[in-house]
Amino acid sequence: MVNRQHRPPAAGRPAALPSLADRAYDAIRDQLVRLEIRPGVPISEEDLCARLGLSRTPVREALKRLEHERLVVSYPRRGTFATEINVTDLTHISEVRELIEPAAAASAARHATPADRESFRVLLGELAAAGAAVPAAELMNLDTRVHRAVYAATRNPYLEDTLIRYNNLATRIWCLFLDRLAGMAGHVAEHRLLLEALLAGDDRAAAAIARRHVTGFDQAIRAVI
């Protein structure tokens, strides 16, 4: 199944509006990733339709995409549930991210467009202003936007889709242990070094920083399990 992410239009073409299925997908995905829909709970299509103001067709299409991304699981005659989070998930997800995140950072350093670089500068400003007093939800949002800006700058839609998928799974784990993790602001602030390396076009430094960031995430989670 194709994981359709919103992308910038080609030069000279108007931006396409997101479909109803895209809207449903984005909304449900964010609730699953942030654990607003808790792991293991049943998912009611009727409830989602009412809350999102959408019919069953786009909601069902969104849930099929989310099942492919391991955010929901469906059982015959039982229904659809938010995927559980297990310790083994961390091992598998970290193994993949340690391979692809450095490669993506290096690619972004080489292929970032002027628009990408402007996004990096804006995010650097937000990171400089963020501190320990910033609510966790805002820090999580900023972290996600940094990652997605880097992924988009690879200019490789297949790599971008894979990166987003695994970052979503990692963020779920982070949210599960959020109340036990110290120094979240510092973890997010690490992105400043990465963005600076990307702006300098230093692919080796960007890859090394991305690798340390993923390794540090894995170690921080294991320390509180």
Give the CATH number of the domain where residue 47 resides: 1.10.10.10
Kindly report the pTM of this predicted structure.
0.85
Burial class (CB in 10 A: 0-12, 13-18, 19+), 45: middle
Is 75 in the same domain as 91? no
Is 54 in the same domain as 115? no
Domain boundary among 82, 104, 134: 82
Is 113 in the same domain as 215? yes
Q: Is residue 10 part of a domain?
A: no
What was the pLDDT predicted at 17?
64
CATH code at position 209: 1.20.120.530
Domain boundary among 82, 110, 133: 82
In contact, 160 and 151? CB cutoff 8 Å:
yes
Is 144 in the same domain as 49? no
What was the pLDDT predicted at 186?
77
What was the pLDDT predicted at 187?
78
What was the pLDDT predicted at 4?
44
Is 54 in the same domain as 133? no
**Domains in the chain: how many in total?**
2
Domain boundary among 82, 99, 121: 82
In contact, 143 and 188? CB cutoff 8 Å:
yes
What was the pLDDT predicted at 43?
96
Residue range(s) defining the domain that contains residue 105: 87-224
Is 78 in the same domain as 94? no
Q: Is residue 108 part of a domain?
A: yes
What was the pLDDT predicted at 225?
82
Rounded mean pLDDT for each run of 10 residues along the chain, 225 residues in total: 44 59 95 95 96 96 96 95 91 96 98 98 92 77 94 97 95 88 76 97 98 93 87
In contact, 18 and 6? CB cutoff 8 Å:
yes
What was the pLDDT predicted at 2?
38
Is 62 in the same domain as 105? no
Burial class (CB in 10 A: 0-12, 13-18, 19+), 46: exposed
In contact, 90 and 218? CB cutoff 8 Å:
yes
Is 93 in the same domain as 204? yes
